[in-house]
Amino acid sequence: MRDAPSPGSPGGTRITRTKEMAINTNDITTIEAVTAREILDSRGNPTVEVEVLLMGGAHGSAAVPSGASTGAHEAVELRDGDKKRYGGKGVLKAVANVQDIISDAIVGLDATDQATLDEVMIALDGTPNKGKLGANAILGVSLAVAKAAAAAQYQPLYRYLGGVSARTLPVPMMNILNGGKHADNSTDFQEYMVLPAGASSFREALRMGAEVYQALKKVLHDKKLNTNVGDEGGFAPSLKTNREALDVLVAAIETAGYRPGVDIFLGMDAAATELFENGKYSLAREGRTLTSKEMIDLYEGWINDYPLISIEDGLAEDDWEGWSLFRQRVGSRIQLVGDDLFVTNTQRLIRGIKEQSANSILVKLNQIGSLTETMDAIEMAKRAQFTAVISHRSGETEDTTIADLAVATNAGQIKTGAPSRSERVAKYNRLLVIEDELGAETARYAGFSAFYNVPGLYAKAEL
């Protein structure tokens, strides 16, 4: 017999089975048990891990990430609020909700009916932002169910979710220089990335990015700058200006023996909502306060001067008028990614499509809180000729679901940190495995074709 789950217990209970219980082949994808536990993420904060067991013996587990800079419109990540445990960041309430409430509702249902399962949990919560049960509870179950269903059908997750068309390996958007909330005493903007769009395979792209990462360490060391790393594995030097971050990245690309703007390009996440105060943007590092138009002027200057092809959250999450102007000014030349703007929410994405705000959506599973809703957002974006960038969070775990999701949806781009820190590298290594599984004849590296929203870049694609 399996160990009986202890509802609401801090550690949860690992599911085990006897050989006799696994023999029932008539209901192999029926959910038999659901349990959860409190674990730690990469920042040492608690998060939720869920395990799902099916009648046929298949098993799936998933760990939920969390963000440092979070959008106001994200689904609710349920925390305990008990200052005596983890400074109030414990997730025992979410664990209890999985074991006491969600489990009762879904045990006996078919794990392969993902949409129905997610609908059941959303209805059970009954709030517009999953504030009752917690998006961290619902998402953990949603992903664990999908993994168990895939295991029951002897399929890797990417094949189970995407079918035979799942074969595109994404361009890695590697955050190798951290600032903002991801690093103390660095730049105003949160992330500076390298994108090896000119590579011929994912394996080559990963190598190129890793070599630039190592070259950046040397460039910073030679400048006598700090080489400590931030939350996502990128370096966090104390730079004099925000522009200097782009300069050192270009230098690192060249030091590694690659051509900026040919082999490797630049991207950034401004996380501008964090800079927005009283209707303007405060760049404390440079002692400047800018309007939306002045921020766009700043970015346009950088687009002219650097091989910058992607800007995420260049303006604040509710600066809709500014976003429309942003796309009007530079949208044909660069990918404009909405993270806080859209929070993986189809209702906000619909508004963005109608108002021509941004031309890409960042996809974070825990922003919306279920696999079905996440995939709906990706499909909606594609239909509107928006790209979809599959993303990690700054507080990550060893869970590699997003690697499979990127391939399953043929998204073409993934953002999962620097080639450093095991919780980041785990996703890259999973993609290497997937590329090998698909084989050279089937696997396709997205390269420039990932940027179908930017005519100048897409024209370089070998279709």
The verdict on whether residue 43 carries a ligand-binding annotation is: no
Task: Name every residue whose Cβ is closer than 8 Å to that of residue 162 and which is 6 or more positions away in sequence.
Answer: 407, 408, 409, 410
Within 13 Å and on the Cβ side, how many CA atoms surround 320?
11
The verdict on whether residue 82 carries a ligand-binding annotation is: no
Please measure the distance between the N-terminal and C-terminal CA atoms of the chain and give it in whole angstroms: 54
Which residues on neighbouring strands pair with residue 62, listed in sequence order? 50
The verdict on whether residue 382 carries a ligand-binding annotation is: no
Q: Residue 5 carries which DSSP code? A: P
Q: Of 165, 190, 168, give the one whose Cα is nearest residue 67.
A: 190
Active site residues: 232, 364
Residue type, 199: A
Q: Specify whether the CB–CB gap between 270 and 217 falls below 8 A.
A: no
List C-alpha distances in Å: 103 to 36, 124, 457. 10, 11, 47
The verdict on whether residue 347 carries a ligand-binding annotation is: no
Helix (H) or strand (E) holding 388: strand 387-391
Residues 81, 104: Cα–Cα separation, whole Å:
25
Chain-centroid distance of CA 304 in Å reads 28
Within 13 Å and on the Cβ side, how many CA atoms surround 185?
7
Query: Which residue reads 């998933």 in tokens?
Result: 62
Q: Specify whether the CB–CB gap between 47 and 136 falls below 8 A.
A: yes
The verdict on whether residue 339 carries a ligand-binding annotation is: yes
Q: Read off φ and ψ for residue 386, nearest 5 degrees.
A: -90, 145
Burial of 461: CB neighbours in 10 Å, binned 0-12, 13-18, 19+: middle
The verdict on whether residue 203 carries a ligand-binding annotation is: no
The verdict on whether residue 142 carries a ligand-binding annotation is: no
Residues 412, 441: Cα–Cα separation, whole Å:
18
The verdict on whether residue 74 carries a ligand-binding annotation is: no
Task: Name every residue whose Cβ is closer than 8 Å to that of residue 207 and which is 6 or more positions away in sequence.
Answer: none
The verdict on whether residue 59 carries a ligand-binding annotation is: no
The verdict on whether residue 348 carries a ligand-binding annotation is: no
The verdict on whether residue 399 carries a ligand-binding annotation is: no
The verdict on whether residue 186 carries a ligand-binding annotation is: no
Q: Report the binding-site residues.
A: 182, 190-191, 269, 312, 339, 364, 391-394, 415
Residue set of the binding site for Mg(2+): 269, 312, 339
Annotated binding residues for (2R)-2-phosphoglycerate, written as ranges, equal 190, 364, 393-394, 415
